[in-house]
Structures are given as C-alpha cells and as structure tokens.
Amino acid sequence: MKFTVLGAGGFIGSRLQRYLYNQGHEVYAPKRGADEIFRQNLGNVIYAIGLTADFREKPYETAEAHVCYLNQVLQRTNFSSLLYLSSTRVYQGAASGTEKSALAVFPDTDGLYNLTKLTGEALCLQTERGRVARLSNIVGEGASESFVSQLLSEAATGKIHLRSALTSSKDYLLIDDAIKALATLASHNETGIFNVGSGKNTTTKKILDAMSSRLQFTVTVDETCTDSTFPIIDTSRIRNILHWQPQPILSWIKNLNDFER
C-alpha cells in the first residue's frame, strides 16, 4: 500500500513515516512545497503539516500550514484518501468532547490555532475520501514541546514553576499509541472525524505525584494562574475500529529512566 506523509520532517510525521515503512508499505515523504506531488498518485495521504507551540508568534505561517497548503493538496493532487491531523485542543470551552460537540471559538491570538484547524477539518471533509484525526496531547520521547516534557525538564533541575492550577487536567496520549492509531485510520474505509486520545483526563497534580516517586523537586504556582481543564475526550469511535488500550501516562512517567526527555 502506498502512503504519502506530508510533514514527514516533524515530530509526528517522521515517526509515521518510519512506522509505515517498517510495516512494509511504500512511503513517499516529499519536502515541503515540492511540486512533484502534483504530478503523481499519492495513495493514502497523511497531512501532518502544522504548527504547535509557536503558532502565536507565527500566525500567517499557521494559516498557511493548516489551511492554505491543504487547500492546494485537496484541489490539485491525485490521492486515494487523506487523513488530516487536527487536535483535541478544539474542545477548549466545549461542553463535551465528542466528535459532534458544538465548539466555542474566538478570533484572538489563542483562538487562531483552533480556527485554522477547524477550517482545515471542514475543507478535508468536503471530499468523501477525507477523514480527520483530532489528536490528543502527545507525550513520549522526542515530544520536547509538550507540557509534560517541560515539567520533566524542570523537575530535573529541582524546581518547577506552574502557570496553571494543579487541578488543571487534560487528555494525554503516548506517541507510540498515537502512531499506531493514525496508521490504521489512514487506510480505513470509514470517514469523518475521529478523536485519537486516551479517553481519560489526568491532572497536573497526579503527573507531579508520579514524577516525585523518582525525583525530588519543589513546586511553585503563579499567583495569577487559572484552572485549565478540558472535557473528557470521547474515544468510542476509534475504539470501534481498533483494539484500543493506550498505555497510561502515569505508568510511563514512573518507569522513565531519563527525566530530561
């Protein structure tokens, strides 16, 4: 089976490329902006192009990556299917975390990420060959921009300073579990939106407790911090496709050998 990974130079894209290749598939990983993608059959496309931590500083690049380049791919390339990587961040402020939930967005700097991702989703779903993966907060080796990795790095110095409340909670998913799910979705017959997460929220306090079983550190909390809690992500749809048993994030943290990951 042929797969084309757009964004193979990134954290998730590079791992998808390697995983699919090791599974025996033909994998095409063109450089960003390569014109040759418009002259061949791309097979099953995985659109992993996007900005994460630096989207606030690069608003125009964010719109280009999440929407504009995707628009060209959808209109001008020949493909069998396309999987667009979105984010469970779009559930911020929503009443629930199901794929059919009404979503709350506001056109400010922080809202730019969600607005562009949702626009990308809408474009992708205009074709019957398109599907969307709303990906949870990814942790694991190499996820240097993630909140958990930042906590681990600070813990290694002996001091952690929080800018959100200890009660804040989100859905976290290990990178290996995410890659297996995305590879399956990329060639599956079903279309639409799929939540790819653990289905469980973990508080910052529980993460710190797991870290403290291996390392000593102090914690200070910003006086102006607020609680940042997302709705529980409904993973029933992905569970109907996969034998879905993601590894618990707290177990992974407790078994880490290197707290600077």
Give the H or E element holding residue 161.
Answer: strand 159-164
What does DSSP assign to residue 35?
A: G
Q: What is the pLDDT of residues 93-119, one digit of tens each?
A: 999 999 999 999 999 888 999 999 999
Rounded to a whole number of angstroms, the distance between the first and last alpha carbons of the chain is 34
Residue 82 β-bridge partners = 45, 130
Q: What is the pLDDT of residues 6-45, one digit of tens each?
A: 999 999 999 999 999 999 999 999 988 889 999 999 999 9
Q: What is the pLDDT of residues 194-228, one digit of tens each?
A: 999 999 999 999 999 999 988 899 999 998 999 99
Average pLDDT, the chain: 93
Q: Which amino acid is at 99?
A: E
Six-digit token string for 120: 């990308």
Six-digit token string for 158: 């002996």
**Percent of the chain beyond pLDDT 70?**
98
Q: Which residues contact 59 (CB under 8 A, 6 or more apart)?
A: 109, 112
Q: What is the pLDDT of residues 124-167, one digit of tens each?
A: 999 989 999 999 999 998 888 889 999 999 998 999 999 999 99
Domain 2-137+173-199+232-246 architecture: 3-Layer(aba) Sandwich (3.40)
pLDDT at residue 261, as a whole number: 42
